[in-house]
Structure 1
Amino acid sequence: MSIPSIIVERLSKTFGRSPVLRDIGFEIHAGEMVALIGPSGSGKSTLLRHLVGLTRADRHGGRVRLQGREVQAAGRLVSARRHERCRVGYIFQQFNLVGRLSVLTNVLVGRLGRMPRGRALLARFTEAERAMARRALARVGLAQLADQRANTLSGGQMQRVAIARVLMQDAEIILADEPIASLDPRSAQEVMQILQRIHEEDGRTVVITLHQVDVARRFCKRAIALKDGRLYFDGPIGGLTDARLTALYDNAGLDELKPRSPATDLAAPVGALG
């Protein structure tokens, strides 16, 4: 087994007087693709933000290590060099693209952290970097849209641009927070297929928060489930039996467990990416 890529120890987070994460701990090894699931409000997105250092844990809230580097410990964020921060890529549900810029430029932005500071401040990209960005777009099926403004794209296309930006960053760990929550079923399948292909071809560690249990079962071999801010399940995806899922969602989120019709099932083939 490879060394842990992500280590979380006794992580806790409280907003006001409300505990959101309670003594969470787990390890994820390099090259794993893990689904982070649980009911709304269970702490999934909050946990993911802790991993990248966007949120600070409670002072007694344990520690987070990524690729052997301390991200935070005892409620304090640990500063890191730009190239170290680039080792972790974060994909947001709402894409976070600059709409007035071209698709290619949005992808090139992913390279800023690995460029010399002077060139990065001026956004002066080399021809080699532009070629790298076009290759990243080709991997997500959008090479033909490189010169189009980002705000003219569909939601699914925008999320694929966001994935290309992470590829441009050359992140070893990809954290994706509800990347398909706002997408139609076809676009959602395309995004999940791309993430799975990147995981398999590049050996990158991928952690994805998901509401759809059927999607987690199809694309991920391991699941971590949260309930009321606590670690409810951590193991092979096959261990998520219907009984466990019913208990996890307490009959309140069972729409996520119901079989989908063929028209909306992500398992249905959709053909080549467009």
Structure 2
Amino acid sequence: MTAIVSVERLDKSFGPHAALREIGFEIHAGELVTLIGPSGSGKSTLLRHLIGLTRADRRSHSHVRVLDRDVQHGGRLLGASREQRRRCGYIFQQFNLAGRLSVMTNVLIGHLGAMPRWRALTGRFTQQERDLALRALERVGIVGLAHQRANTLSGGQMQRVAIARALVQEAEVIFADEPIASLDPRSAREVMEILQRINREDGRTIVVTLHQVDVARRYCRRAIALKQGRLYYDGPIAGLTDVRLQALYENAGLDELESRQPDHRIATPLHAVG
């Protein structure tokens, strides 16, 4: 099976601090994968490498490939066409909306990469493109807010706008960086259900960083866990036993914890298919 996302020997340092060390994995089409780990483990840094927002160490042997494009190699960011960039969507923790613009316009911004440059520069959208945006807003449950200014929305509503923008962008892969970190429990659940539904119905590949282990268990089948910048675990979410999770989030090593506790499977059922 061809990998949609491929990472090899990824190293990233900030001064003397090694943020990522020898990271490598593959993600295949149609997966809903969570990146988890303690704060400072490198989750967001890794995600930014996948989209080409951060460059690996110059002297590293790193290689990042997404879809059919090399994003970076050996610490060099590689160029991409508008079409290639459009195929990858990015959902930010802080929504990244233009607050003074309407919900509709914020969603239509996702379509700029597919438009002729002269229309993109002038912001002239066709009725067909507006209909596309309305369908995306309907899918995320806020079509009634299409003409409201973005800065009047709640956090959960703003994140739905960001998801609708990625839909209008027609992104084949969606990277979501802590999309529920600033949301209340109900809004967080609704946003994750939307992402799960998009993954299931459209077959879009989704990679989402999360702090909440219970959310990862409920919505994702696969987890990639980082600890202190290294790959700690990559596999089925059910393989992250309570013992492993304790070792991930505490200072004690896995061998020490396993010598103290029985290795039992996660009791919480997976309520959804990722």
Matching of residue 208 in structure 1 with residue 198 in structure 2: no
Report what 1:191 is aligned to.
191
Amino acid aligned to 2:2: I
Task: State which drifts further: 59-68 or 134-143.
Answer: 59-68
- Deviation at 1:93? 0.2
* SS of residue matched to 1:160: helix
Give CA deviations for 1:45-80 in whole Å, capped at 9, x if unaligned.
000000000000012141100012100000100101
Describe how 1:33-112 pairs up with structure 2 within 5 A: 33-59=32-58, 60-112=60-112
**Matched residue pairs, number?**
253
Report what 2:127 is aligned to.
127
**Identical aligned residues as a percent:** 72
Contact 1:13 1:61 (8 Å CA) reproduced: no
Amino acid aligned to 1:49: R
Amino acid aligned to 1:22: R
Contact 1:23 1:61 (8 Å CA) reproduced: no
Q: Which stretches of structure 1, 4 residues or longer, exceed 3 Å deviation after superposition?
A: none
Partners in 2 of 1:250 and 1:168 — Cα distance?
Answer: 41
Partners in 2 of 1:242 and 1:178 — Cα distance?
Answer: 22
Report what 1:260 is aligned to.
none
Partners in 2 of 1:50 and 1:174 — Cα distance?
Answer: 14
Amino acid aligned to 2:168: M
Describe how 1:1-274 pairs up with structure 2 within 5 A: 2-59=1-58, 60-250=60-250
Amino acid aligned to 2:11: S
Contact 1:103 1:148 (8 Å CA) reproduced: yes
Give CA deviations for 1:106-134 in whole Å, capped at 9, x if unaligned.
00000001111111111111100000000
Amino acid aligned to 2:184: D
Report what 1:264 is aligned to.
none
Amino acid aligned to 1:6: V
TM-score relative to the length of structure 2: 0.91
Contact 1:35 1:224 (8 Å CA) reproduced: yes
CA-based RMSD of the aligned residues comes to: 1.3
TM-score relative to the length of structure 1: 0.91
- Deviation at 1:3? 1.2
- Deviation at 1:28? 0.2
Partners in 2 of 1:63 and 1:126 — Cα distance?
Answer: 39
Amino acid aligned to 2:173: I
Partners in 2 of 1:76 and 1:119 — Cα distance?
Answer: 32
Give CA deviations for 1:74-117 in whole Å, capped at 9, x if unaligned.
01001010011010000000000011100000000000011111
Structure 1 residues 61, 19: closer, same or farther in 2, change over 3 A?
farther
- Deviation at 1:193? 0.2
Partners in 2 of 1:195 and 1:19 — Cα distance?
Answer: 32
Q: Which runs of 5+ in 1 are unaligned?
A: 253-266, 269-274
Partners in 2 of 1:144 and 1:250 — Cα distance?
Answer: 45
Amino acid aligned to 1:13: K
Partners in 2 of 1:17 and 1:38 — Cα distance?
Answer: 21
* SS of residue matched to 2:89: strand
Amino acid aligned to 1:113: G
Amino acid aligned to 1:237: I
Q: Which runs of 5+ in 2 are unaligned?
A: 253-269
Contact 1:223 1:235 (8 Å CA) reproduced: yes
- Deviation at 1:251? 6.2
- Deviation at 1:229? 0.1
Partners in 1 of 2:120 and 2:44 — Cα distance?
Answer: 30
Amino acid aligned to 2:43: K
Task: State which drifts further: 45-54 or 55-64.
Answer: 55-64
Amino acid aligned to 1:209: T
